[in-house]
Amino acid sequence: MKDLYGPDARAFAALEAAARRVFQSFGFREIRTPVLEEKELFTRALGAQTDVVQKEMYEFKDRSDTFVALRPEGTAGVVRAYLEDHFDKTEGLSKFFYMGPMFRSERPQAGRLRQFHQIGVETIGAAGPYADAEAIHCLAVFLDEAGIKGYRIKLNNLGTFGEREAFKKVLLKYFEPQKSALCDDCKTRLIKNVFRLLDCKNPACREIAEKSPAISGALDPESKDHFEKVLRSLEAIGLEYTLDPRMVRGLDYYTKTVFEVSHAALGAQDALAAGGRYDGLVESFGGTPAGAVGFALGVERLLMCGDKTETAGGAAESVFVVTLGEKAFEEGFKILSSLRTGGVTASMDFEAKSLKSQMRSADKSKSRYVVILGDNEIEKGVFTLKDMTGGGQEERALKDAVNFLKGKTG
Ligand code: HAM
């Protein structure tokens, strides 16, 4: 888990602001759900046999003996809120976006943290393929807005739970005879969830998995048609994609369309964002059946893919106040406060005594202008303004200081 400050904190804030802009333009509204939920919510939504539930959740009993967990992802909480807060009754279609910390007790490595941040969207109450295309388009527009270049969108069609159940038999028939060549984990997966085998990173398992039958051959016309329409809609808006017929996702709630965005800068953990349709989830929580689709992207991973050059932050047009002597300090403090009230970024070193050390602080703050006030200036009713970009210095009337500086920095 990481502390966040400096350029990273600024980059986070900028991404969150971009997300709010883009997602709102697509008609999504912000929702903030609790970080802590009942553990059962995730077990039921994500699947009891998934790695996230089996190995990665931070879970504990609270003081009233309820099993709770820090959320490992955002979808389950949003669907719970959708039902608990009766959006299913008051709205036909609900479109949410969210951002915040998620927790997974994984082995940390580059791009994989135990507390990480997701930005995501969920459309609930839409069964048609255009909602899938809309979500993918929204993700692409956001990535473009965030300045990410060279990402790849991969898609697959996982069909309905029923179709998948039938396809399971096909997969088992394929993998069983090759059992002895599989890793120990995959031997267990063969019994518990054969689809997970397609996701194994072990080279030997991978080689076998790559030749396995693709699910597309086992799907009904309705699922095929839905996916075809998603692909046609993406083409219509000029979004490039590749098909990955063996892509499965680490969470069990997906149906039909699933997608992943990958980026070469990420190395082994190359998924920048992922999502898909989850048509059974609302119903499994006791709601009336409602089609749903969404995605989430990892903010830390996004920052690994972006341009590393740091922007100047908010300091470029700011003012630093330097004073010498008691009277000058009082006057300087008044100017500082008025500038801040007026929305100008301004600072002052309250501790430093000498002019030299205050100028050092001014330098460090990367302020554009320095206001210098000594008892001399106060007597003359002026202040000295120094332009730190090399523009020299000038004297100005003290009574106009705040307005003058506002004009300079505005
Ligand atoms: P997910 O694939 O588990 O999907 O996570 C989405 C993204 O979160 C990943 O692509 C990755 O960028 C980031 N991520 C996941 N785990 C970590 C980690 N340990 N460290 C850093 N980043 C990580 C979901 O969470 C689904 N709820 C997405 C979704 C929304 N599907 C439908 N709606």
Nearest CA to ligand 1 atom 8: 298
- Range with the poorest average pLDDT among 290-304, 314-328, 369-383: 314-328
| Nearest CA-CA partner of 155 in 254, 250, 251, 244 | 244
Task: Please give the DSSP secondary-structure letter assigned to residue 285.
Answer: T
- Number of neighbouring beta carbons within 10 Å of residue 378: 19
E-assigned strand segments in 133-207: 152-157
Domains delineated in the chain: 6-160+220-310 (3.30.930.10), 319-409 (3.40.50.800)
Q: pLDDT tens digits for 123-173?
A: 999 999 999 999 999 999 999 999 999 999 999 999 999 999 999 999 999
**Are 280 and 162 contacting, i.e. CB atoms less than 8 angstroms apart?**
no
Rounded distance from Cα 195 to ligand 1 centre (Å): 18
| Predicted structure pTM score | 0.88
The SS3 call for residue 317 is: coil
Q: pLDDT tens digits for 60-76?
A: 999 999 999 999 999 99
Using CB atoms within 10 Å of the CB of residue 267, give its burial: 0 to 12 exposed, 13 to 18 middle, 19+ buried: exposed
Nearest CA to ligand 1 atom 17: 112
Rounded distance from Cα 220 to ligand 1 centre (Å): 29
Nearest CA to ligand 1 atom 1: 274
Which of 301, 303, 304 is the pocket-test mutation for ligand 1 (most atoms within 8 Å of CB)? 301
Decide if pLDDT at 307 tops 80.
Answer: no
- How many angstroms separate the Cα of 144 from the Cα of each of 119, 156, 172, 224, 364? 15, 23, 41, 30, 33
Q: Give the pocket of ligand 1 (CB within 6 Å).
A: 73-75, 104, 106, 111-113, 116, 118, 120, 122, 250-251, 271-276, 278, 294-298, 300-301
Looking up tokens 């009766």 gives 86
